[in-house]
Amino acid sequence: MSELSCTSVPISWWRLERYRLAELPHDEHDEIEQHLAGCEVCRACLARVDRPVELPELPVRSRPMAAAKPGVARQRARLRWSGAAAALGAAAAAVLLLLPHSGGPGLELPGRRIAFKGGELAIDLVRERAGSIARDATQFRAGDRWKVLLTCPPPLQPHVDVVVFQGREAFFPLAPAQLASCGNLLALPGAFALDGHDDVLVCATVSERAPVDRAALAARGRAALPAQSVCLPLAPAER
């Protein structure tokens, strides 16, 4: 192992790799180029990035990457959210509002899947816990990471939003998105964490014409969920 000195702040391996993949904003790309021009050790690291590697074969086929629709930020924000207070990630817009009413007696909650536009609208959740993935999880714990998978009938290109209800509060843990095309089990951009000791309802709501009205949802709670919404309940692992 060699120990060399960088001329200033080293360009991390994370950024070097994304630089090579051309996945950095222009200003970061230029900054890195400038640094590399004068730093031998970071150039040595980049040379390692450029070495070919042999990927092991997968027994299952990886899907082609979906192109992000212009204007849909490929946001990979991770938000830590608690029942008492919300911590907002730097890259995502999220709103925390206290609801005067989160639903009254007899309020029927949307199910996990509904018939929609000749097909089906459905929500699935993927939980990652300490590197282990579960798709049928029904409980959450602090530190778990959740992804939302949405199924909707092509060729719709709906606006999608995710709202999480817990107690009298509603959170929007992911940035609103517009899908380039509907399909099966599409992973919505971003992931989130859950906290607190109350049951949670994770809902995905879609709209063909305009982004979902967050203000209405935040003001009226579950009662304001549009008809084209699907929800999954989760319980805390420890109460």
Binding site for another protein (CB under 8 A): 1-6, 9-15, 17-18, 21, 23, 41-42, 44-45, 48-49, 52-53, 55-56, 58-66, 76-80, 87, 89-91, 124, 126, 128, 130-131, 133-135, 143, 145, 147, 149, 185, 187, 189, 191, 193
CB 201 within 8 A of CB 233: yes
Nearer to another protein, 64 or 106 (CB): 64
Nearer to another protein, 149 or 219 (CB): 149
With tokens 């951009």, the residue in question is 189
**Angle between the 13-20 and 40-49 helix axes, to the nearest 10 degrees?**
60
Smallest distance, another protein to C-beta of residue 81, A: 10
**Angle between the 26-38 and 40-49 helix axes, to the nearest 10 degrees?**
120
Coil, helix or strand at residue 75: coil
Nearer to another protein, 14 or 100 (CB): 14
Smallest distance, another protein to C-beta of residue 3, A: 5
Smallest distance, another protein to C-beta of residue 100, A: 30
CB 218 within 8 A of CB 176: no
CA distance 83 to 170: 10
Coil, helix or strand at residue 206: strand
Nearer to another protein, 145 or 220 (CB): 145
Coil, helix or strand at residue 37: helix
Smallest distance, another protein to C-beta of residue 132, A: 8
Smallest distance, another protein to C-beta of residue 227, A: 25
